[in-house]
Each structure stands twice: as structure tokens, then as C-alpha cells.
Amino acid sequence: MSALRASAPATRGRPAATDAPRRGRPPARNEILRAGRLGGLEPENLARRFGTPLYAYDLGVVDRQVAALRAVLPPGFELAYAVKANPALAVVRHLARRGLGADVASGGEIEAALRAGVSPATIVMTGPGKRDDELVLAVRTGLRAITVESLGELERLERVAAREGRVVPILLRAAVSPEVALERVRLVGDDGAGKFGMADDDLRLAARRAARSAHLEPLGIHAFGASNVVDAEALARHVERTVERARAVAAEAGFTLRLVDAGGGLGIPYEPEDRELDLAALGRRLRSIRNRLEGDATTRDARVLLEPGRFLVGPAGAYLARVVDRKSVDGAHVVILDGGIHHLLRPALVGQEHRIRTFGSNGGPRPKAFPVTVAGPLCSGLDVLTSQAVMPPPAIGDLVAALDVGAYGFTESMPFFLSHPTPAEVVISDGEARLARRRIEPREWLAMQEVP
């Protein structure tokens, strides 16, 4: 193949945008795509070396996201990476080396964080439904804090701590009611139907019990509002409410407030018209919260923890697949890729499409743009990455990249559905691509099965 050409963004219901500067155009995003390359590397070279489909993560983008967020945080605010966003060891290790702690939600994520080099003293365990064996692991590991979701979980954790002869630092998770919650992802059951945290009466009772316990050390409150929020004012209001709630609960229960975990939720733009989070505005509001904490002797030493995941790694990722078929059905243009929602479930899961870029196989004139549906190889009508996007239709053999997939990509999906190979995961740093997780062929997981 000759030199690659990158297409303009795929758009729905209007002609595709060009790459030429335009008046009023938003500034370039911090993303893996630069000058028609992925992390500075030719997509075709990545595809030939690692096969398709594949995930690529640009660690330089991750560094820039970390630096941008840290630049606006006031003293006393700390970051713990939400491992669920992307648990690839290479990504977690990279963030650990940048001094971030980790937010984990299972025993498996504890083990992943430890293997990636995260200090136990910077790991906070959150999430509902912790099994007893997970509580034992968390207690023995000596985490910074374990978030308690219910009175029943408080009792189970206290029993584990007593058997282990430990005093366990804990956070108490407060339920966030729908009228107080931030913007929510359009996902059935996204409010959790009450599965997260405790109502106010139980929260206060749990705080009093923990304060009296010989084996529990209450540090403060954890509360998480919503996912993918790009409204700086809404995020700051959530932090402010959580801090005030924590102050009141700690004062009533009689313990010193030392840690407030306001969760994550920092959002990123997915579609061309989406706005970005105003970090400067967020920083100004957080500084006012910090000033109020410092003005009170009882809260002066309290720390505030944020748990970003998507914000740090989402823009760094691309899912690269190859066109294997192309057709027109009743006037509709359709291209079929060798990958789809079994590797990138989010478009079907939340009903939000990602930006698409195509990389052509010739240097000739660009074909005319048409509405195109980009779909995967699965026997399911849900297997569509973008529908009716106005773009030059890619040819068979061309490469197609879905952008902003560094978070909630491969491991949120269903890679064993219909027995296709799993994609390799690749990290790009300093102009070099390295394998982070190898491609797995179906015969390998078939060999793991037994026929009784």
C-alpha cells in the first residue's frame, strides 16, 4: 500500500468537516490522532505488526491529561485513577509512575494495581457487593481506605478486621438521590436503583458505629454523582455538597474528618459538537472549597480525593479495524469491519457513537462523501459503530479507527461473543509502539474448556 490518507471526521446529517482552519472552530483536542497518524505512527504499520482489530493507547496524551488536571487542583486535592476505566497493566503502571493512586472495585483490580506498582497506601476500594474474600484481601493488603456501602457490609468488614487483628480505615458511601445527582449517561438502570451507598439515616448510624469500633477507623465520606460530566459547575457543586455532608456526619459521630472522596465523573467530548470540560472554571471552584476547609480548624487537614478514569485515558485510545466488505443496500452505503461491538460495546450500550476516521489505501482523489453505516462482523443488528455518518466510503482493505476509546473499551465489552480473535492492546510512547496485551485466537480459549 502507498502512503496513507486520513479522512475528515464522520458526521451525521451534514457534509464531513475539513481539516482546514475555520473561524469559530474549537481548538484541537488532546487525542491520539495527529496529522493522520495514531500517536505519531502510521496506522498501517501498527496493523501489520499487531494485526487487526487492535487497541492503541498514546501515553503522551495520558500525560497531558494528567498535567492539565493537576495544574488546576488546589493543595489538599489528590488523584486516584479509576482502574475500571482501563485496567491494562501498562496503563495503570504508567499512571502509578506519575504518582497517582488507584480506585479499585474488586479483588482482581486490587491485584492488578499491586502488580502495576501502585502503593497500597494510595489505593481506595469502592463498589457494591464486596465478597468476604475480597474484604479479607483488602484488609491484609493495607489499603488507604475501604468504602463501606451498607450497614451489613460494615458488620462484615468489622468481623474480618477483628479476625485479622487490624484497625481498618474506612469511608462511608453516601447515596446520591436523583434530584441531587449530576447529568447521567443515558443508560437503562444508570441510577443503580439504589444499589450505591446508604440513605442518610443509615449513613449517620454507620458513622456512629464505626467511630465506636475497636477495628474500624472512619476517615470520611465517599459519594459519586454521575459519569462523563463536562459541566464544571455541576462537578464543583457535587464536591461541595459531599464535603459539607462529610463535615456534618463526622461532627455528629465524633471523629475527625480526614478524607472526602468525591468520586470521578470528569467527562470528555465524544462527538464533534461536544464541549470540553472547563478545567480553569473547575479549579476556581475547587479552590474556594479548599479555602473553606482550611478556615475551619476541624477540617484544615482534610484531603479531598478525585477518582478520574475516563478523563485521563479516554482521549488516548483508538480502536483500529480493517474493512472486509462494502455494499449498497436500497441506496444505503454499508461497510463491514473485522471488529465491532464485541470489542467496543459502548456505542450500543449507551447509544452514543464515537468519532470515526478512515485511512485510505491510495493517494488518489478523495471519493464523494455519502451517508455510511460502519458495522462489525457479528450476527446482530446492534453491531454498528456509527450509522449514516457522512463520509467518503472507505474501500475494502482500508483501516477505520474509532477515537476516544481509551476508557470503557475492550474490558467493558464481550470479546468472546461469536468466537472472534481478541484485539491486541498496544501502548505508544516516545514514538514507539509496545505490546501491552497480546491478541488471543479462539483456539486458545477453546483449549481452556472441558467436555465432561
| CATH superfamily name and code, 5-58+315-446 | Lyase, Ornithine Decarboxylase; Chain A, domain 1 (2.40.37.10)
Residues, the chain: 452
CATH superfamily of 127-306: Alanine racemase (3.20.20.10)
> Alpha-carbon distance 105 to 127, whole Å?
5
pLDDT tier at 155, thresholds 50, 70, 90 = very high
Does the structure show a pLDDT above 60 at 12? no
- 177-225 tens-digit pLDDT: 544 444 343 333 445 557 899 999 999 999 999 999 999 999 999 999 8
pLDDT classification of 391: cutoffs 50, 70, 90: confident
Nearest in space to 10 (alpha carbons), one of 282, 285, 366, 373? 373
16 has pLDDT over 50: no
Query: For helices 232-253 and 200-212, what crossing angle results, to 10°?
Result: 50
Q: Is 197 left (phi over 0), alpha (psi -120 to 50) or beta?
A: left
The reply to whether 127-306 shares the fold of 5-58+315-446 is no
CA-based nearest residue to 375, from 342, 419, 330, 414 = 342
pLDDT of residue 184: 41
Q: Tens of pLDDT along 31-81?
A: 999 888 999 999 999 999 999 999 999 999 999 999 999 999 999 999 999
The average pLDDT across 286-310 equals 94
Report field, pTM of the whole predicted structure over 0.95: no
Task: Judge whether 387 and 425 are in contact, CB under 8 Å.
Answer: no
Question: Distance of CA 165 to CAs 135, 140, 162, 172, Å?
Answer: 14, 10, 5, 21
Domain boundaries, the chain: 5-58+315-446, 127-306
Closest listed residue to residue 341, CA positions, set 330, 350, 333: 350
Q: How many other β-carbons are positioned within 10 Å of the β-carbon of residue 361?
A: 18
